[in-house]
Each structure stands twice: as structure tokens, then as C-alpha cells.
Amino acid sequence: MGETTKVALITGANKGIGLETARQLGKLGITIIVGSRDLARGEAAVEVLRGIGVDARAIKLDVVKRADRIAAAKYIRKEFGRLDILINNAAVMLDARSSGWAKNATSKTSLKVLTDTFETNFFAVVDLTQRLLPLLRKSAAGRIVNLSSILGSQTLHATKGSPIYDAKTFAYDASKTALNSFTIHLAHELQGTKIKVNSAHPGWVKTEMGGEGAQMEIVDGAKTSVQLATLPADGPTGGYFHIGESLPW
């Protein structure tokens, strides 16, 4: 790897949108660190990526495990000395869904579902990002992409007739709203630096999480992350985007 080659860490990159994001960034000549809860699956993904000419390597990164987050930062510091791109892609949706979107069950959402959802989708993201910030500061153009969702938009949730007005998965939605808040606050703190922080809505993608009714192909679901990970110096920060279009908070 050359000194000018960019390095990207993608969490949950062994499948779905994460793996496709790794493929697209890797084809741009970026070295990919595949973060995977299961190392064997991560290594299998790396073999696929290397088979198409992508420089990739796997690390065990179960984002909810503090020890894994610490180890990831140590590995990147030792192997590369910096990090250019962090894509917080790993997430869970634990709200009950039977077919398509379930009826609003906010009053019945258990504390455990809320806690477990926030642990992965918010708290782990905050801690991992904070641990990696010293390495991102060493980049000539650090980029942080938080995989949010249109379901994190308070404006659209409260607007009758919006595309998500009747799509109420409380724990997941609230965790993505909190993640959007992290994006706004961190971007504000990092004003004047070379680091840009943005939230991405990939779309309703045909993945395990997407479930029935998803309309977008995975190749398209990765496009927003790739765009935000490769923003030029005059690109936006502190925004909420889907394929170049701003979303309302």
C-alpha cells in the first residue's frame, strides 16, 4: 500500500450494503478494512474483494463489544498510522415486523429492544468514532459516514402524507434520529478541520433488514455512502443525504 493510498474502515462489511460499499470504494483504489462481527465471514468477504482486485483485509469487530472497538483502533494505528474514511454501517432493527411495516407498537416496545437497538445503532457508533478520531485527524481528508435512514427524519415522521408517515418502528427510528444528532454535533465540533461528517440514507434496499417490499438493489444502496466517503474539499458536512439529495431532519 502506497503512502497516498486511502484507508477505509467499514463496519458490518461482510454482507449487504457494507460489502457493496467496500467493493465500490475498493475499485477506486482505496484499501478496505472489513469490520465483521464474525471474523470467518469477514475473511470470506475479503476473498471475494481480493478476487476482483480490491486491497482488503478483515478484522473482528463486533461493534457492541468494547474490546473489539479498542482492538480495531490499535490495529489501524499500528498497520496504517491513520484512517481516511470511517463508514459506520453496522446496524440492527429489532422492532417486530410481520409483513412489510407492522402497525405502530410504540407503547409496547420493550426497554430491552430499545436498549439493544441503541447499543448497536448509536452508543457503539459514538464510542468507535471517538476512538478513531485521532487517526482521522491525521488524514489529509477525513470522511465519516453514519448510515442513518429516512426513518430517522422527525420532520417526515410528523408530516401526514410523507413516505414514512405510517412506518413507525420506534426503537430503530429513534436510534437513527439520535445518530443524526451525533452527525450534526460532531460536524459542528470539527468545523475548520479537514474532516467531514454526514448521515446517509441508503434507500429501501433488498437486504435482510430491508425485508419485504424493498425496491432498491444493493448496488444502488451503496451509492450514497460512496459519494459521502469521497467528497471533495468543498463538499458538505453536517448533512443528511440520499444519492446527492438533502433530507429533512
At residue 211, the pLDDT reads: 52
| CB contact set of 114 (below 8 Å; sequence gap of 6+) | 170, 171, 174
pLDDT of residue 2: 56
Task: State the pLDDT confidence band at 26, using cuts at 50, 70 and 90.
Answer: very high
Spell out the residues 6+ positions from residue 94 whose beta carbon is closer than 8 angstroms to its own: 113, 116, 117, 171, 172
Higher per-residue confidence, 205 vs 226? 226
pLDDT tens digits along 135-168: 999 999 999 999 999 999 999 999 999 999 999 9
Q: What phi and psi, each to the nearest 5 degrees, are found at residue 144?
A: -120, 125
Condensed to tens digits (0 to 9), the pLDDT of residues 54-89 reads 999 999 999 999 999 999 999 999 999 999 999 999
In the predicted model, is pLDDT for residue 3 greater than 80?
Answer: no
pLDDT for 210? 47
Q: Is it the case that residue 98 has pLDDT exceeding 70?
A: no
Q: Give the chain as a DSSP string.
A: --TT--EEEETTTTSHHHHHHHHHHHTTT-EEEEEESSHHHHHHHHHHHHHTT--EEEEE--TT-HHHHHHHHHHHHHHTS--SEEEE------S--SSSSPPP-GGG--HHHHHHHHIIIIIHHHHHHHHHHHHHTTSSS-EEEEE--GGG-HHHHTSTTSTTTT---HHHHHHHHHHHHHHHHHHHHTTTSS-EEEEE---SBSSTTT-TT--B-HHHHTHHHHHHHT--TTS--S-EEETTEE---
Share of the chain above pLDDT 70, in %: 91
What are the residue numbers of the active site?
172, 176
* Domains, in order of start, for the chain: 7-243 (3.40.50.720)
- Taking the C-alpha atoms of residue 10 and residue 33, their distance in angstroms, rounded to an integer, is 6
pTM score:
0.94
Give percent above pLDDT 90 in the chain. 87
